[in-house]
Structure 1
Amino acid sequence: MSASNTATVDVVLPCLDEARALPWVLERIPPGWRAIVVDNGSGDGSGDLARDLGATVVEEPRRGFGAACHTGLMAARSEIVCFCDCDASLDPGLLPALVREVAEGRADLMLGRRRPQGHGAWPLHARAGNLVLAGMLRRRTGLRLRDLGPMRAARREALLGLDLTDRRSGYPLQMVVRAADAGWRIRETDVPYRPRTGKSKVTGTWRGTWHTVHDMRAVLAQPPLTKTREAGGL
């Protein structure tokens, strides 16, 4: 994919009861890109609303952030795939900047470093959990990332080659760990982080944050794959 040809990008949007946020999110998908909304068992009509708004909707009945993300990855067909939360905390309109870094060969995996905008955008306990995980990641891989945020971009075939297995909250971290083990160039860039629409299912409470950290610690405890895979074509 050339720097000027980024029209065939799929954006995976894991979704659980996000009907209030969907219109804002989907109207900010870049023109020509495909939004893949992965309905993770919503009870508020999110799936039907997303279809009405023009998104491709994939059902994933197994609850779990990783399950939804990986189902979206499997449904994607574009050369480059993006991931973004579906709660209006992150603006999909910022994704072209991440995609450009991958398309032009400066990075294999681009991450959006969340920069809170406004009161309540990133609760203290969630930030604390993120800092703990960033430190653990540095000790495990040597990467000096400041965030493990959900906005990211990479090549689809390379992502599939990582053989990601986590289907819970550890999925984003496992992606970074296995990419690092495979020698990928991993970069991050600042992105505004707004207060989410609706209630968080993962890090909205101390208990949710604890469960997330628990899942991610299990990922960090896994040994490196015996056969690393390169991000081919980058």
Structure 2
Amino acid sequence: MKNNPQSVPRQATASTPLTPKISLIIPAQNEAGSIGKVLDDVPEGVSEKIVVDNGSTDDTAAVARKHGATVLHEPRKGYGYACLKGMNYLGETSKPPDIVVFMDGDYSDYPEELPKVVAPILEDRYDLVIGARSKALREPGSMTPQQVFGNWLATFLMRLLFGARFTDLGPFRAIRYEAFKRLKMEDKTYGWTVEMQLKAIRHKLAYIEVPVRYKKRIGVSKVSGTVKGSIFAGVKILGWIFKYSIR
């Protein structure tokens, strides 16, 4: 069943904060060699940098603290578990942020592009912004063939079934905090990104993609770097898409 996504800009409102509070959540598992570089490249204007240590066996947590991050611990392995841990932490603060940014801890994203990713929200035109890893801006070899195919298949099905305009499931993304709460996110592992995008369509959030650069990560991916991880991620992503197609 097709939905009619509200991907057009929404009307600006007078309630937009003059100095929005931006929080950054970085899930990390055994990223001691990269997390410091990621944190050092985050531009000014971010209120709090949160690293969720997802059961690391190296010095990820210690390095993150040294480089100015708030460190949370989530022993249950899974990207979604880590992201939910960060969001639950923000929900318990006295003043939650206006915008939440998600970024990987492997240094494949360019943290200095964060202002470009949040700009459409700061202009009060969109609720969700996906940093799209366009081919023209990707370092050769930065995405595995299975990642490229998986992104193409998932976004093709989302266009076919829901009329969506996504081209990527990139992890570098920003969302208005109040909009995020409406999504009631559930996924604990590989389906976090696609669940967010599917629910954005369902809740008629105004969304847009902005092209971002992407480079080879430091270390080995826990998902695309293994056959098991690639298969499980693919099954979970397709499961979410077909789950929504029959609702």
Same fold? TM cut 0.5 = yes
1:21 equivalent to 2:34? Answer: yes
TM norm structure 1: 0.90
Using the alignment, how far apart are the partners of 2:161 and 2:138 within structure 1? 30
SS in 1 for 2:223: coil
Identical-residue share of aligned pairs (%) = 34
* 2:82 aligned residue (53, 68, 83): 68
Query: Residue type matched to 1:79 in 2?
Result: D
Using the alignment, how far apart are the partners of 2:74 and 2:178 within structure 1? 21
Equivalent pair of 1:73/1:156 in contact (CA under 8 Å): no
Shift in Å, 1:49? 1.3
Q: How many residues align?
A: 225
1:14-38 deviation per Cα after TM superposition (whole angstroms, max 9, x unaligned): 0000000011100011224111000
* 1:187 aligned residue (204, 208, 212): 208
Shift in Å, 1:160? 1.7
Shift in Å, 1:58? 0.7
Say which structure, 1 or 2, has more relative contact order (CA 8 Å, 6+ apart). 2
Using the alignment, how far apart are the partners of 1:93 and 1:107 within structure 2? 21
Q: Which moved more, 1:78-87 or 1:203-212?
A: 203-212
User: Aligned-residue CA RMSD in angstroms?
Assistant: 1.9
1:98-138 deviation per Cα after TM superposition (whole angstroms, max 9, x unaligned): 21211212211000011353332111121011111111222
Equivalent pair of 1:3/1:100 in contact (CA under 8 Å): no
Gap runs ≥5 in structure 2: 1-14, 91-95
1:30 equivalent to 2:70? Answer: no
* 1:50 aligned residue (64, 78, 89): 64
Equivalent pair of 1:129/1:209 in contact (CA under 8 Å): no
Using the alignment, how far apart are the partners of 1:207 and 1:186 within structure 2? 32
1:101 equivalent to 2:120? Answer: yes
1:169 match: 190
Gap runs ≥5 in structure 1: 227-234
TM norm structure 2: 0.85
Equivalent pair of 2:151/2:168 in contact (CA under 8 Å): yes
Equivalent pair of 2:179/2:205 in contact (CA under 8 Å): no
SS in 2 for 1:66: helix
Query: Residue type matched to 1:37 in 2?
Result: V
SS in 1 for 2:61: helix
